A and B are shown apart, each in its own frame.
Chain A
Amino acid sequence: MMNYIPSRRKFLAESSMGLGSVAAMWLMHNEGLLGAPIKPELDQEKFDLSAKKPHHAPKANAMISLFMQGGPSHHDLFDPKPEMDRFNGKAFPGTIKYDSTDQASNKVFASPWKFKKHGKSGIELSELLPFTSQIVDEITVVRSMHTGVNNHGQSIEALNTGKVSAGRPVLGSWLGYGLGTENQNLPAYVVLTDPASLPVLGVSNFSNGWLPSMFQGTVVRSKEPRILNLDPPFHLKGKPQERLLSFLDVLNQEHKQLHPWELELEARIASYELAAKMQSAGKEALDLSQETAATKKLYGMDNPLCADYASRCLIARRLIERGVRFVQILSRNQMWDNHGALISGLPANCRQVDQPSMALVMDLKQRGLLGSTLVTWGGEMGRLPVIQNDTGPTKIGRDHNTYGFTWWLAGGGIKTGYIHGATDDFGHHAVKDVVNHYDLLATILHLFGLDHKKLTYHRNGQALALTDNQPGQIVKNIIA
């Protein structure tokens, strides 16, 4: 009794009925999943991306991470150290933890850039960040970040996955696992990569680790085709693929009749429907021609120096507006790793991201989205207070420092116009209100209404978590 009607509408109508019931059943199944104590896995768990209730009332329901790989120099951007001016060019009065000993020197390197107070809060920022300076009253500057592992890969793992070891799921995957997503037509977790390259660790930056593969980050590239496998090959576009989907549905429905009550088969049928919907929803979300000229100008899309970063920030806002849970904008490989030529390299980096980052916060605010959207800006490390590569003023740089560095956060329940923590007089070590990677991650989950100790995944007889047995403290002082 098969009828071959090449109509996409029919396909969608039929399977969306199916979807409703499947989704409902999964939802019921999954609601028991969160907040449960360690218990035996009696059944194989089913996983999906339907929106789920957090443990407690959330402040944030979406997040945009502006990840600055390489380690932006906090001395020159966020963390003024007048004491260093006195010692400029002189020996550092203490011990330094160098990473690259071959080019190391102990000469103090005071920031060549001026700091000024901004906004009502009077937060001091460097002249290299004229745009970010305009939003100081919207953000919290955390000057006491700490991971304590002095190389890029491990520190990225720490901030992304909670621990320095490889192979674990990243924050975005945990959020998808714990909360699902609001818009089933778009991925829960989107990664916007730099056209030049992937950061250190490559695809591990958005790896689901041992969580099911559906929680992996979906990469959106800067150029077409933007999403892998989103578009049909040219000859199948439009009608031919609609016909293919209808034909597939006929095959699947026939098979399903032989297998009543088989939920997994229904789920897969529904997943083809989701894929089809994603094709149009994805296109629409990425279409910047819908934005006004004023908005584009705000982000700096008219400025070739920052146009690409601007477009990615704008896409991030559009995705969040459409219910995507987590968007991660990755910088290029070692962008901020200024071991040398800091004098020219750092201002160039700032010109790329300063205006779009500001615009993102302002734009979210004017659209009423900032309250529920957490924005974070920072890298896996900061830099040392001393000169590296002492071979002339244009060539000098700064070495790695994961013992004290700066991030800023905005929205999603974060305090406004606030400075948290401090480093020592030379910005080498975080000394006051230290925020470790696990503290930051516990706090982010908390803002999303999730208890970092309860959000667990059962594997090989263990209940595993993002912060896994580390003493993660919620940084209450940065929460509004």
Chain B
Amino acid sequence: MHSIFCYLLLFIIGFQSPNVPVFEQEVRSILKTHCFECHGEEEKLKGGLDLRFKSLILRGGDTGPSIVEGKPEKSLLIDRVIAQEMPPGKRKLQKHEIELLKSWISTGAKTLSIEPKVIPRGFIITETDKNHWAFKKIKDTPIPTVENLSLIKNPIDAFVLNKLEAKGLTFSKNAEKNLLLRRAFIDLIGMPPTPLELQNFLNDSTPDAYEKQITTLLNSQHYGERWGRHWLDVAGYADSEGYDGSDILRASAYHYRDYVIKSLNAGKPFNDFIIEQLAGDELLKPPYQTTSPKDLEKLIATGFLRMAADGSSAKDVDIKLSSNQTIADTIQIVSTSLMGLTTQCAQCHNHRYDPISQADYFRLRAIFEPALNWKEWKTIAGRELKIQYPEDKIKSADLEHKALEIDKKKNERLSAIQKEEFEKSLAKVPSEKHATIQKAFETPIAKRTAEQKKLLSDYPNSNVNAALIIQRDAKLSAEFKAYTDEADKIRALKPAIASYRVLTEVPDKVPVTNRFERGDFEQPKEVIKPGHFDLFANHNLGIIPEDDPSIPTTGRRLAFAKSLVSENHPLTSRVLVNRFWMHHFGQGIAGNPADFGKLGEAPTHPELLDWLALNFIKSGWNLKEFHKLVMTSNTYKQSSTRTETLQKADPDNKLLGRMNIRRMEAESIRDSILKINSKLNEKPYGPPVPVTPDDYGQIIIGTDTRDGAGRFTGKKVDLKGEEFRKSIYIQVRRSTPLAVFESFDAPILNPNCEHRNFSASSTQSLLMLNSQFIQEHAEHLALKLQKEAPKSIEEQIKLAWILVYSKAPSKEEIDVSMSFIKEQTDHFSKNMKKNDSKSDLQSLSALCQGLLISNRFLYVD
């Protein structure tokens, strides 16, 4: 019965009578994609034909009308596309596209609205374009009603349940308490709870036990490290320049990474966070060298616009080409991360799908050119901001003074030895010559007369070289080394002159921005002024000045940043909340986080998206409030199990009748393992932990000890616990990503990453089975179990389960584990030399490995 019903339902949905196609909806986008470039949007019309409106199509070109209403077989347009004469080039119309054009003509070539009488040349934005969901003003949507009010925890639930109920569905039951806590921990800090944290939660019977956990997690230092990583993905953060194979290190990039983490931890309103990153320098007055530490943060924030791959310091690079590529990548980072638009398509020609013209693209580019001036491009070293604060200067001078004291002592001692040795040597010189030889010796070498020189060479013993004497005498050299070491030690304490990777404008050097024909910087065309996309003409986004007289810089980026975070901007808040949502649910409300244009997937819950976007603005762009709202909803708390009903009605979970099961990201896998086996080094911030290839070409954490010819020396440098720091502090070198990260789909920053892959491959499996990484950490965990549960293997198994799965094992699971351990131990002890007691540890390690590589650990249920 059930399946027949479903079949019928499918029948009804699948075989609805087709809509009559209309020009604005289906037809225009096909023509725009394939034809407008020559027939409408460029200055010259090919064949006198303009296809932008139906009236123009009817009028036709040099060879007459393009269509005859009702008669596709008599329409020139159809003839030409079927004959594949048009469009020229390799990309032809698809069959279904031609069918659609035919069906439009045969049904009378309908339009939705009356077309304008006067049609200007060039790029036109139609009403349909403007009415695309993402370009419309964000609507203040009323919260819908639902039947089952008891399931509503907050408005999110109402929006989601309303759609579920419309399909006869409802929420899945809440996830088990321990799974829910594990989910919350991994979502917010990227690591599971400790047994104590878990126990406290399970024992807490107060009604707001779960809410309290969320608050605690949001206050954890690890929260900023976890959500900072999400932001660094879209910002394209890397510790190296990329661009070419040399992939030079970016020594000062980490200040920006730390800025992101600190901002998120401090709960900085997201609008300020965005303004600082786009225009932090414009909030301050130059010279920036004297900026206070508090304001320095705003300059470091502009590192966001310095994240794109950058060939400025690479060898043999065409700097015009590389600088223009860096600018294009920077614009791509800005537009995908904040606007959810693929503007890069409009760099060479008008966007083929979205209403963004090439002029729009260059208006956007003009906003950044005063700071990213390709005609006077600065080297990387030349643009770094170097700061030493007065108190640091004083401290440095003070330390130098102390070091000089030691140098002085050393020199005095040296003179003393010299004197002593010289006097000894006089024994071999006739006494009448003592005075003259002494004078000769004390005269500086350059000033010695020929006579004095001869004298000293006649009595070489008198030409005392104290340095040589010290070198030859072990005791003396130790004494002198101590002086040098002490002075060095003191000098090492001097505060370094800090260097920051920032973006600033050069005052009074504002370049002119030109449109580049076909995106080619060798073909500059008309001058373009900074401004918003035409598409947003009616959104009241304010004006972007060419040069704001009230501040020292042009004010272009500041005005742009402020417009992005104004409540009138249709994209920014939608794009942000959609991405945050994606990180909680594994999928966005709109499916393509970086493309809200025509090719992007329309939102499954547009009203919810708008409500969240407006609510986010109303909350003061408060991300922590957003987490609380989402994570305390019943929508979030649902179980992730697919029920038969849901599987049939909504296999892709578009309606959110359950939670999605999600694999942990690469960094969370590593961080979780480190937390579980108590190896985690929680030290925050600072220069990244280095990575290096080993002689497999595999990238591991470690210092590069290859020699000048690139040969492996096998030397190991002790990292002193740095190797156990959180993953966000591991160096992100574009050409050599850490193997564990790369294998588990860490982002490729080229230029940034909007959406990670989640692959399952045998490379991952081999890594999890045999790599040194997993073997080491499984053993760390086994040692921890032996230490913390010394009584019995059963206790060790129970603890392992709670640590790795956040849940105690069942009786059966204990039995299986016991029998596994027993067989492994038997095997190991049989195959080992006598008196080797490692077999217990080895079998326990194997158990730990089994847990750490199992799906139940790798996935968030």
Contact = CB atoms under 8 A, between A and B. Distances in A.
A255 B854 contact: yes
A251 B810 CA distance: 12
Contact of B769 (A154, A232, A247, A264): A232
Interface stretch (B272-280, B290-298, B299-307, B757-765): B757-765
Give the interface size bracket for A toward B. Answer: 35 or more
A109 to B, nearest CB: 24
B820 A4 contact: yes
Contacts of A243: 820, 823-824, 827, 846
B592 A461 contact: yes
B767 to A, nearest CB: 5
Contacts of B309: 165-167
Contacts of B696: 219, 221, 228
Interface in B795-830: 812-813, 815-817, 819-820, 823-824, 827-828
A204 B245 contact: yes
B849 A244 contact: yes
A37 B601 contact: no
Nearest to A333: B710
Interface stretch (A58-66, A120-128, A234-242, A297-305): A234-242
Contact of B711 (A165, A196, A241): A196
Nearest to A232: B770
Contacts of A151: 315-316
Contacts of A278: 762, 766
Interface residues of chain B: helix, strand, loop or mixed (majority): loop
Interface in A267-293: 267-269, 271-272, 274-276, 278
A6 B763 contact: no
B592 A203 contact: no
B567 interface: no
B652 interface: yes
Contact of A214 (B244, B710, B761): B761
Contacts of A40: 592, 595, 599-601
A462 B336 contact: no
Contacts of A236: 770, 846
B585 to A, nearest CB: 13
B318 to A, nearest CB: 9
B594 interface: yes
B54 interface: no
B245 A154 contact: yes
Given A232-B770, A247-B816, A271-B762, A157 B750 contact: no
Contacts of A344: none
Contacts of B745: 212-213
Contact of A213 (B344, B699, B763): B763
A197 B769 contact: no
A209 interface: yes
Contacts of A198: 693, 697, 710
Contacts, number: 255
A102 interface: no
A153 B763 contact: no
A200 B765 contact: no
Contact of B761 (A165, A213, A232, A255): A213
A292 B763 CA distance: 32
Contacts of A216: 742, 763
Given A154-B316, A272-B769, A265 B859 contact: yes
Given A202-B736, A265-B859, A278-B766, A259 B661 contact: yes
A204 B332 CA distance: 24
B651 interface: yes
Contacts of A168: 750
Interface string A254-269: 1110111110110111
A157 B759 contact: no
B710 A203 contact: no
B748 A210 contact: yes
Interface stretch (A41-49, A79-87, A138-146): A41-49
Contacts of B90: 453
B851 interface: yes
A240 B769 CA distance: 12
B770 A248 contact: no
A416 interface: no
B94 A37 contact: yes
Nearest to A255: B856
Contact of B760 (A206, A251, A264): A264
B551 to A, nearest CB: 33
Contacts of A258: 641, 861
B769 A229 contact: yes
A438 to B, nearest CB: 15
Contact of B854 (A6, A153, A202, A248): A248
Contacts of B316: 150-151, 154
Nearest to A274: B762
What are the 9 closest A-B residue pairs judged by CB atoms, nearest first? A153-B245, A461-B342, A275-B765, A214-B761, A274-B762, A229-B766, A210-B748, A4-B816, A251-B854
24 contacts: A37-B94, A42-B601, A44-B757, A156-B245, A168-B750, A196-B711, A197-B710, A198-B697, A202-B697, A203-B735, A212-B761, A214-B759, A230-B770, A235-B842, A243-B823, A247-B847, A248-B850, A255-B854, A260-B641, A267-B760, A271-B760, A275-B766, A461-B594, A462-B342
Interface of A: 1-2, 4, 6, 37-44, 47, 49, 150-154, 156-157, 164-168, 187, 193, 196-198, 200-204, 206-207, 209-210, 212-214, 216, 218-219, 221, 228-233, 235-236, 239-241, 243-245, 247-248, 250-252, 254-256, 258-262, 264-265, 267-269, 271-272, 274-276, 278, 333, 453, 460-462
Given A213-B757, A258-B641, 17 more contacts: A6-B820, A39-B599, A43-B591, A153-B246, A167-B750, A206-B697, A212-B759, A214-B762, A260-B642, A268-B760, A271-B762, A274-B762, A275-B769, A461-B344, A461-B345, A462-B342, A462-B344
